[in-house]
Amino acid sequence: MNEPTLDKGTELQGLSTAILFPSIDVLDGSVRKAVGPLTPIVGMSLFQRTVLTLQRAGIRQLIILSGAEEEELKQSLLRGSRVTIPVRWMPIREFPLDDARTWEALAAEVRGFCLISGVGTVLSRSLIEELRRDIRTGQVIVAGPGNREGRDSEVAVQTWKSVQSGGIADFIVMPASELSIAGQLAAECDIVPIGRWLERAAVDGRVRMLPSGKDDRSQWYQPVLTQADVEEAERRLYSSLKGELEGFVDRYFNRKLSRWCTRVFLAMGWSPNAITILATVIGLLAAAGFALGTYTAGVGAACLFQLAAVIDCSDGEVARLTFTESPFGAWLDIALDNVVHMAIFGGIALGAYQQSAGSDDAWIPLALGAAAIFGNALSFSLVNRAHNIKTASEWKTPLHAAWADFMLKNVASRDFSVVVLLFAIFAKLEAFLWLAAVGAVTFAGVMVWIVRPAAMRITPSA
């Protein structure tokens, strides 16, 4: 791994730097034993997950004070997702934590605020993003069982008790200017002076407690000290999964089943794109089943299509859990979803045609299937156009942007797989073709209206 020198000429303001202590408790310097930095958490080490979460949340540089496990930690960062931010390794044997000069050196590397953390807590990305937005001059943020309510004196007492009892998680947001002050306490402590400094800051009323966020599924953290904590952290990671375009069926049915599939795919080491292709193959098999035209084949094909929808949730879940999201993967997922949908429409149309072959109306299912396929293909093109407009922030007004978001989030979903299953069970697949044809063409028409030139901001040419 490259170890670029931190850019001293760049004044990094706000919270942009994290200082990590992989193997010791930040507050008292005790060595972690039951759960170490290389403990696996949903397919990657606790250390690697911490680093990648910080990177995704906008931390721009890392300083790692490492012990004898330094080489193992470096190797763990070389596996899987790539770490792209500058990383400086400071071996504790050269930078002892009870030496004030170590803390002065750290203070010289940081601008604004810094996150001091062990790797004994699994954090959500949105929590770090919120911390970066919510920092306040001269204030320290720690995580624990406290709350923000009550008089300042009461909060200070509560914070003091939490610090003394060790009832806070091992990450602290503090002004970089305080690092040197903390270092001055190094001679009074056995190893790490942060605990002693934090107690004094609490007495001064400068510490703000961050509640555990158990009721907030987006901004949460989970201390990991025991094997039971490992299991709880993994449970919370799975429960925090949610796709960008997610309908009612996805949220309350597909996502419940897909998490079991995701566990299997992670254990097998499958990539998100491989899972996408598997879901596509199953979907195409479902389309072939519909084309047979029998009741039994139709119900079986509808069940296969529902399975494909469940597995299609897993590719995004694996990508988010392993930090392997990519623009190509997102495009491939949407593109192959549309291939499957068009194949499903075509398969149902062929099956209905076989059932009515020889009659004067035999052409109707084929025409409906063609209309559904055309509407779906046009919609896919227009949805891509809407995504590009959104990315470039080129909507003319907030109303146009709101219409586009509504269509993308509430219409472009996998919910219709259940509708197909119900129509198959009641032997009404031909009726579904009418619904699909009218729905696809209507959706395409609305998207044409949304992405019309009048809805876009005109940028004057240079």
pLDDT tens for each residue of 245-265: 566 777 778 888 888 999 999
For a pLDDT cut of 70, what percent of the chain falls above it? 83
Contact 374, 443 (CB under 8 A): no
Note the pLDDT tens digit of each residue in 90-135.
998 898 888 888 888 898 888 889 998 888 889 888 888 888 888 8
Q: How far apart are CA 152 and CA 139, in angstroms?
A: 13
Query: Which residues, including other chains, have CB under 8 Å from residue 262's CB and lie 6 or more apart?
Result: 238, 241, 313, 314, 317, 318, 321
Confidence at residue 208, expressed as pLDDT on a 0 to 100 scale: 78
Which range among 16-20, 254-258, 388-392 has the greatest average pLDDT?
16-20
CATH number for region 15-234:
3.90.550.10
Average pLDDT, the chain: 82
* Torsion from C-alpha of 151, 216, 405, 368, nearest 10 degrees: -160
Q: How far apart are CA 41 and CA 47, in angstroms?
A: 9
Model confidence at 462, in pLDDT bands (50, 70, 90)? Answer: very low
Q: How far apart are CA 405 and CA 423, in angstroms?
A: 29
The predicted model gives 344-364 an average pLDDT of 90
> In Å, what is the CA distance from 63 to each residue of 36, 43, 389, 448?
19, 24, 38, 50
Collapsing DSSP states into helix, strand and coil, what is residue 303?
helix
Give the residue with greater pLDDT, 176 vs 348. 348
Q: Which CATH class is domain 242-455?
A: mainly alpha
Q: Do domains 15-234 and 242-455 have the same CATH topology?
A: no
Note the pLDDT tens digit of each residue in 268-281.
999 999 999 999 99
Contact 190, 98 (CB under 8 A): yes
For a pLDDT cut of 90, what percent of the chain falls above it? 37
The predicted model gives 195-200 an average pLDDT of 78
Structure tokens at 34: 């039951």
CA triple 353-354-359, angle to 5 deg: 70
Contact 115, 18 (CB under 8 A): yes
- Going from N- to C-terminal start, the domains of the chain cover 15-234, 242-455
Give the residue with greater pLDDT, 178 vs 364. 364
Q: How far apart are CA 374 and CA 198, in angstroms?
A: 64
CB count within 10 Å of CB 42 equals 18
Give how far the C-alpha of residue 30 lies from the chain's centroid of Cα atoms, to the nearest Å. Answer: 32
Round to the nearest angstrom and report the end-to-end CA distance of the chain: 42
Model confidence at 409, in pLDDT bands (50, 70, 90)? Answer: low
Which range among 221-230, 242-251, 290-299 has the greatest average pLDDT?
290-299
Q: How far apart are CA 207 and CA 32, in angstroms?
A: 25
